[in-house]
Copies of this chain bind each other. A is one copy, B any other.
């Protein structure tokens, strides 16, 4: 392709965006922002996207059938699974104006995921045990009603997605396929050039199972996720699910001091409170009051400096959903305004869940359950009974230990490049989709889902592979393999030589971007080549004589080679 005729050239502006990928992809002419979280893929960007999708497609074809499901579907499907009223990223379509409304007033769901489409589809075609297992996937545009979109291609309102769904006659068969899918996924990431830095991490399985789901996480300093790695068991946990044990307090007291209630109105954050009380933060206790979907009231306490992990708490409490209690409820059960709740003297109807980080301390602080008061030098077995059991209901923090192996976690930043979920019978049950077994009986169908976001991966590759000058694409996804630069292009001899090289490369089916501009300077052309990040740069100029300058994007040195030698190298 001739660079002079490419739409969307590099931009000279010094503007930077909120992330490396947004900056380089926009400056390099790969994408253009239409609105926050929504981009046009320009010619260069579309080439990269297509390559990523083709690699994914080739690997998915080894374990599934490619189809293409629509984006808009009937609301009834989403009502069947109960998700129409609850999924908070769900958008629907509606007529845009009165003329459209007069024509057709029906609304449709704009799908952010396709369980509600693929399950009734499968049900139409496959019922006999003989035809299981099977898997369907598609690569398509998805829509999410994201409130805050940022980080370029990492989180968008409209994005590309590969989603595969597998169907099985047993839990075991689902598990077998699920393990197989991990291998296929790792092959995808290897081919995309991010395999060696991609790990499988345990993540939340969602509200319908205690099982984990699995995330494929690419280690990356600018990643938006935090992974906790435990060496002995060789397990990566997403921070959201990492089991955690807090380190022991640093200077433990030797003896119990007399308990005291201290007035401290409006002092609520643990940092501020510790300073006011002149105690270390690790002596403070954070207590929050929750209400559950089955109308229980819960007090949950963690050591100061930690946050409560609602997912862990929900599992400990064994409820389907919980939310922070209203000010009214807090007042009713603690007798105090919000901000002074503690674990002392709570009424019996409140269930108390105390994180293990709260234990192992003498003379700790807790809210006094009395407006404006904090109790200090509180001790178990004196001021309140020691709990029968300590829980793990906190968000893991750097420095924490794996409660099982007692090993300290290593902590990494990472970006999610894929995730897989065992869905079990959640969706097949909603659609009453069963198979007919050998014995003629109807039995439940087990389902899994498996996602990879190609546009997101494009952003992550840039986050991982760049330097101060621009992007450094892995060859498998680079928009072109060769960036051919003609210098001194106003000189007829040079120009015709450069065009000849371009022709030979094209005739040999080598993807080449040819910077044939007459007016751009050598400096500009080199800077553009570095920014665009194609693996190999070739230069034809007065200086290169009969030869061609060859340079890899990852290396500094250049070499002068003949066209023949270059063709052999390629």
Q: Chain B interface: which of A41-49, A207-215, A246-254, A489-497?
A: A41-49
Residue of A93, A102, A125 with most chain B CB atoms under a 10 A cut-off = A93
With contacts A109-B96, A125-B9 taken as known, whether A117 is within 8 angstroms of B40 at the C-beta atoms is yes
Evaluate whether A157 and B72 lie within 8 angstroms (CB atoms) in the complex, with A96-B84, A121-B40 already known: yes
Q: How many angstroms from the CA of A96 to the CA of B71 in the assembled complex?
A: 14
A468 within 8 A of B: no
Instruction: Please give, as numbers and ranges, the residues of chain B lying within 8 Å of A108 by CB-CB distance.
Output: 35, 157
Main SS class of interface, A: mixed
B72 touches A121 (CB 8 A): no
CB-nearest residue of chain B to A41: B68
Chain A residues 143 to 202 lying within 8 A of chain B, measured CB to CB, are 143, 145-147, 157-158
Residue numbers in B under 8 Å from A143 (CB-CB): 71-72, 93
Q: Which of B38, B100, B121 contacts A89 (CB 8 A)?
A: B100
Selected contact of A34 from candidates B74, B78, B95, B140, CB within 8 Å: B74
In the complex, the answer to whether B93 meets A91 with C-beta atoms within 8 Å is yes
**Cβ contact of A93, chosen from B70, B93, B98, B103, cutoff 8 A:** B93
- CB of A335 within 8 A of chain B? no
B40 engages A65 (CB within 8 Å):
no
A7 on the B face (CB < 8 A): yes
Residues of chain B within 8 A of A69, CB atoms compared: 34, 40
Known contacts A141-B71, A158-B71: does B93 contact A6 (CB below 8 Å)? no
14 A-B contacts (beta carbon < 8 Å): A8-B65, A34-B121, A38-B70, A43-B67, A85-B97, A87-B99, A88-B100, A90-B95, A92-B96, A93-B145, A103-B145, A104-B146, A108-B157, A110-B110
Given the interface pairs A40-B121, A68-B41, the reply to whether A136 lies near B91 with Cβ below 8 Å is no
Partner of A136 from the list B7, B35, B147 (CB cut-off 8 Å) is: B7
Contact yes or no, B65 A88, CB < 8 A: no
> Is B121 a contact partner of A32 (Cβ separation < 8 A)?
yes
Mask of A232-263 contacts with B, CB within 8 angstroms, 1/0 = 00000000000000000000000000000000
A124 at the interface (CB under 8 A from B): yes
Of B9, B87, B95, which contacts A91 at CB under 8 A? B95
A329 in the interface (beta carbon within 8 A): no
A70 to B69, CA, bound (A): 18
| A86 in contact (CB, < 8 A) | yes
Closest to A159 in B: B70
Q: Is A113 an interface residue (CB 8 A)?
A: no
Pair A34/B73 contact, Cβ less than 8 Å: yes
Residue-wise, chain A 460-471 has the 8 Å CB interface mask toward B (1 for contact) of 000000000000
Smallest Cβ distance from A113 to chain B, in angstroms?
13
Residues from chain B with Cβ under 8 Å of A98 in the complex: 85
Decide if A66 is an interface residue (CB 8 Å cutoff).
yes
CA A93 to CA B109, docked complex, whole Å: 9
Measured in the bound complex, the distance between the Cα atoms of B27 and A113 in whole Å is 27
* CB of A391 within 8 Å of the partner chain: no
Q: How near does chain B come to A90, taking the closest CB pair, in angstroms?
A: 4
> With A43-B66, A67-B41 in contact, do A35 and B74 touch (Cβ < 8 Å)?
yes
Taking a contact as CB atoms closer than 8 A, the residue among B32, B92, B102, B126 that contacts A94 in the complex is B92
A526 at the interface (CB under 8 A from B): no
Interfacial chain B residues near A146, Cβ < 8 Å: 103-104
With both chains docked as a complex, state the minimum distance between the C-beta of A436 and any C-beta of chain B, in angstroms.
Answer: 16
A114 to chain B, nearest CB (A): 10
Q: List, in ascending order, chain B residues with CB within 8 A of A136's CB.
A: 7
B65 lies within 8 A of A158 (CB): no
CA distance A92 to B98 in the complex (A): 12
Q: Are A7 and B65 in contact (CB under 8 A)?
A: yes
A431 beta carbon closer than 8 Å to chain B: no
Whether A88 touches B99, Cβ cut-off 8 Å, given contacts A35-B74, A68-B49, is yes
User: What residue of chain B has the Cβ atom nearest to residue A46's Cβ?
Assistant: B68
Partner of A87, one of B35, B65, B97: B97
CA distance A35 to B86 in the complex (A): 23
- Nearest-neighbour CB distance to chain B for A29, whole angstroms, equals 8
Which of chain B's residues have a CB closer than 8 A to the CB of A94? 91-94
Asked if A129 lies at the interface with its beta carbon under 8 angstroms from chain B, I say no
Q: Let me know if A39 is at the binding interface, CB within 8 A.
A: yes
Q: A residues 107-137 with Cβ under 8 Å of B?
A: 108-110, 117, 121, 124-126, 134, 136
B95 touches A145 (CB 8 A): yes
Closest-by-CB residue of B relative to A47 is B66
